[in-house]
Chains A and B, each alone.
Chain A
């Protein structure tokens, strides 16, 4: 056997590692849509899925013909072989004839079939030696196809043969296809899973379509027939001779063009109103109240939700995003009585967050000790330990609170995958949609709030109120929240709006965080004591919940994480310090917002995010049902 010598083993291993890394990188670049946990890519020939005459070496990439025994036997078979080749070429007309039933032919398949999510798949085979006669076939076959054949001779088997340059499409008779190939040539095979065709390349030149209407789940396959034939496969270990990425770019452009020019066969204006609705509902959902109003005015549309309701939500969201969770809880209890009581998981999550914010020094319960905050005067210093009333709470909701809702992470890929499937019954809580009488107060103070912020904007920008969208966009992009600048997160700008609205209090507080060493609870002794006390109350709440609903691993984890912060001298730079990142407020904020909307019988997700989630899910479904175009219709390429 011509395996690697023992002396060179070490060097070989190094090279192998390097090759492996290059392979991974190349495969990732070529087939970004493939989820290898679900559908692994072919990386080598399979030592199990081959005929016995085939030998493998060099990490199962090299295939050689070893035949079936002593010289005499081979000599005898040579006569048969030549004869049968002749029969195959000239006499072969009936399908079951023995001409194709060739004794010496032997094939090997790759380890895995080609995943449809590749969109376009490509591999190359270098002819190291044509051996005695160069009867080599390169192609594709389905699992289970007889390996005692060259690819192409049987049903669900396809091949391009070197000796005559013919293509074999599940048949013993070949069709004239391309040039012959021999020692030194590099033959490529490209499967287009979008239109289910296949073409070959020779030394980097495309030879044109060989097969159409290919079935799914084909394996790269090679077949050899005479002694001395050796071929090497390249599944991406090395750069390809043919510029496959250029070919892929054409299809990417083609499919994106189809999507962009997709005909909207509807009555005039209907499509536009759908789009306007999408935008408007998105703005309303996240409480961009002023923007939504301007948008509605400009597009002459109406907003479903009441102004006051939007502003209430906006106010609560602002509080959460500013880290003033205690106030947010108060406001929610005021404005939406019963909501948190019906939703103990949400309440617990909020309280955990509140604790974290206390550590951070941002929650008003500790801020009142440190800085004079005009906001904290409005807030309710009443005990946060006030136990929620547990009415008709929904046991199904256990353990959902910690999950980040789709709306906030629908943009950032990955996380949202399961959210639709996992919690189908989330919206089932039949809470009383109470428009609380006290909300009037809030909306008043709130509206002054928002005008204040508007004034602020307009003075600095010298723009009319029509362009509020732009102003907000500017806020969003100026990067006060350092790590949010690249993400399109619903809440990001709002941190800032608050920051600008009452910069005397919060703004300074936040600014301090950035430049001076941060201290636990702002460094105030009383605040720290308050925090410890709050922690105990939180612990108590957890125990109470356990008693009422049974153990909850998520809660336990949340609590543990939050308390761990106290174990470090510098919580901001500790293994669990991530929690202190203002970014973490966003998911809490989104969950709370969704819960409020749901309680008002409004969609817990804006249609825009729903559509986005649907599109993402649809693409994954396409991959599963083997529609290759999914690989070139990436959702992210349409998000700017």
Chain B
């Protein structure tokens, strides 16, 4: 409480009638708060902020006093998050923005410095920068005033540019032209803040990125400026941020993935950032950025996989906190603990990208020490970020047939995966269910135990999700599950899903859901006994659904899949009748046999071929009936087709008549 007493004295002096004494009081206050969080908190509690803001806003205060007020406020903002909150609650931002209209450079710089400190705090809503439309253009105009204004404004921009809208606003106000030349400033701080600005502006933004590639800075292409900033003798922070800029420009489509500045400069730079020599934060940043860079391109994945033993290097990310750090140094342990989650998730992400396409790389990843164990334990970590990254990694690796049959089985990855699916946020669920799809592939030995652990109910409930991605994954997994499955499983699926849900999915707005549902139907309706059984219980509804889809506005793939289902139905003994009595369907088949698309013709012909197959009961009647309907003429015509497989198919069908 003694502190409060002395703090009170500082606040009281702000109200002195003599402006000179007020100034001295503010300067004393400035010296008292530097580095003293308790003092800062006290002053805020005692109401110093509104008074300082008042003094700052009065023209009568004089330039020096106003500047000192801004300095003190900036100092208060350097304290705890609560301090920043209090300042924001006192409407410090509009006051400071107003201050920027002054002519006095020192005052402007003090305001900007304070604004910068407030905006880089996570508790400040960035939207406050954009509420007044005049602010951004004014900040742009202040960029030419001094090195300090350049540094602070760029820093504000890079922290307040969080959404595509923000990017567009800054872009439309000429951020690129105004900031580009700052990259070659003499001041390292200005260079760095300008560079950071570009990294946030370019992120996932094709418009900005396309503009950036054509920008010249002092006669040099911007990408070359970034390449220069990645030189190995430059500070790490600069190398890393420049690599981010080029990564974002590449991902936004502005730079080709086979461009030398990506292949020979950005990629190796990011790999270096993952090395043990770098700080933990840098390694996290490096790995995440690299994961993002190589995600869509198999060639980059291949290069990264051979660069500097990256795959082995990443294994080190799992060794924090190390046993050594725990013993030697409490501070170090604390630091390691804080970054351990981040490191693990970054490594998982990068492994996921590395193994996205290439089987050899997947093999190398899985052969890394304890890899599968790490993924398995990652799946049940408390941190959502780690769980998500681990399941992403698992998903990537699950694309390998060989791994599904071997290491996935050895480590029973399905167990934690199923557990993860019970209760997880949506993004984790999407990845996990997608991985499950792969685990349920016919050749996967995990299929059996997954079924036994109640996967069917879980997947059926996913198909009712709000999220299209989850519905797709749910029905996709069911489709894989039904592929060449025994009858019991098929009936279990049908029962659990219910025909109502099945038909609801057939009218799903998401075409992927529709496709996978048709796929499920097709898998359910395979092998004759299964077809017969299912058609005898659900025949009517299925025929209705098929008719509906064939009549609806759907793309070729959907129609083809539907015709294939029809062909499967036509293979069933009793199910044939369901088609033969349905004139409507027969007309549709006829129509698709004459369609311009070969795939549809092929599927429709296949269907007819099944109907007229000789050895079946009642084939003679069906042949006669279809001849009456003019199918023979069509088949005859199709035997002349330019497409060899269609031609073959039609000939096989014609032979049924000749026999």
The residues of A with any CB-CB pair to B shorter than 8 Å are 178-179, 199, 202, 204-209, 243, 246-247, 249-250, 252-253
Contact = CB atoms under 8 A, between A and B. Distances in A.
Interface in B300-331: 303, 306-309, 313
6 contacts: A206-B307, A208-B307, A208-B308, A249-B233, A253-B232, A253-B233
A509 to B, nearest CB: 44
A442 to B, nearest CB: 50
A473 B386 CA distance: 62
B303 A205 contact: yes
A246 B269 CA distance: 11
A202 B264 CA distance: 11
A202 B306 CA distance: 9
Contacts of B303: 205
B232 A178 contact: no
Nearest to A179: B306
B264 A243 contact: yes
A204 B309 contact: no
A206 B308 contact: yes
A272 to B, nearest CB: 27
A246 B308 CA distance: 16
A76 to B, nearest CB: 36
Given A178-B306, A179-B306, A205 B268 contact: yes
Contacts of A204: 264
* A-B interface, 4 closest residue pairs, ranked by CB to CB distance from nearest: A250-B232, A208-B309, A253-B233, A249-B233
A207 B233 contact: no
Given A205-B264, A208-B308, 7 more contacts: A199-B308, A202-B306, A205-B268, A206-B268, A207-B306, A207-B307, A208-B307
A587 B233 CA distance: 39
Contact of A247 (B232, B264, B307, B313): B232
B308 to A, nearest CB: 4
A178 B303 CA distance: 11
Question: What does DSSP make chain B's interface, helix, strand, loop or mixed?
Answer: helix
Interface string B20-59: 0000000000000000000000000000000000000000
B231 interface: yes
A252 B233 contact: yes
Contacts of B268: 205-206
Given A206-B268, A243-B264, A249 B232 contact: yes
Interface string B213-239: 000000000000000000111000000
B240 to A, nearest CB: 14
A565 B306 CA distance: 69
A246 B234 CA distance: 10
Interface size class on chain B is: 10 to 19
A62 B134 CA distance: 69
B310 to A, nearest CB: 8
Contacts of A246: 231-232
A311 to B, nearest CB: 43
Contacts of B306: 178-179, 202, 205, 207
Contacts, number: 34
Interface string B263-276: 01000100000000
Contact of A249 (B231, B307, B309, B313): B231
A199 B272 CA distance: 14
A207 B304 CA distance: 10
Contacts of A208: 307-309, 313
Interface of B: 231-233, 264, 268, 303, 306-309, 313
Contacts of B233: 249-250, 252-253
B368 to A, nearest CB: 12
Contacts of A206: 268, 307-308
B309 A207 contact: yes
A1 B623 CA distance: 77
A206 B303 CA distance: 10
Contacts of B231: 246, 249
Contacts of A205: 264, 268, 303, 306-307
Contacts of B264: 204-205, 243
A17 B307 CA distance: 36
Contacts of A247: 232
Contacts of A249: 231-233
A199 B306 CA distance: 13
A204 B306 CA distance: 11
Nearest to B275: A208
A253 B231 CA distance: 11
B308 A207 contact: yes
Contacts of A199: 308
Contacts of B232: 246-247, 249-250, 253
Contacts of A253: 232-233
A406 B296 CA distance: 63
Contacts of A202: 306
Contacts of B309: 207-209
Question: Which of B231, B306, B313 is most buried by chain A, counting CB atoms within 10 A of its CB?
Answer: B306
A180 B47 CA distance: 71
A246 B266 CA distance: 13
Question: Which of B233, B264, B309, B313 is most buried by chain A, counting CB atoms within 10 A of its CB?
Answer: B233
A602 to B, nearest CB: 43
Nearest to B306: A179
B298 to A, nearest CB: 15
Nearest to A165: B306
B235 to A, nearest CB: 9
B531 to A, nearest CB: 50
Contacts of B307: 205-208
A24 B268 CA distance: 29
B363 to A, nearest CB: 12
Contacts of B308: 199, 206-208
Question: Which of A204, A205, A206 is most buried by chain B, counting CB atoms within 10 A of its CB?
Answer: A205
A174 to B, nearest CB: 15
Nearest to A254: B233
A252 B233 CA distance: 8
B274 to A, nearest CB: 11
Contacts of A252: 233
A276 B306 CA distance: 53
Contacts of A250: 232-233
A204 B268 CA distance: 10
Contacts of A209: 309
Contacts of B313: 208
Contacts of A243: 264
A204 B262 CA distance: 13
A177 B281 CA distance: 28
A153 B233 CA distance: 36
B570 to A, nearest CB: 52
A250 B306 CA distance: 21
A424 B232 CA distance: 44
Question: Which of A178, A202, A204, A246 is most buried by chain B, counting CB atoms within 10 A of its CB?
Answer: A246
Nearest to A246: B232
Question: Which of B232, B264, B313 is most buried by chain A, counting CB atoms within 10 A of its CB?
Answer: B232
Contacts of A207: 306-309
A199 B264 CA distance: 17
A243 B233 CA distance: 13
A343 B307 CA distance: 67
B225 to A, nearest CB: 16
Nearest to B304: A205
A211 to B, nearest CB: 13
A206 B231 CA distance: 15
A327 B233 CA distance: 54
B227 to A, nearest CB: 10
A249 B231 CA distance: 8
A250 B313 CA distance: 20
A243 B230 CA distance: 12
A252 B234 CA distance: 11
A206 B275 CA distance: 13
A204 B258 CA distance: 14
A452 B55 CA distance: 57
A209 B276 CA distance: 13
B154 to A, nearest CB: 25
A76 B268 CA distance: 46
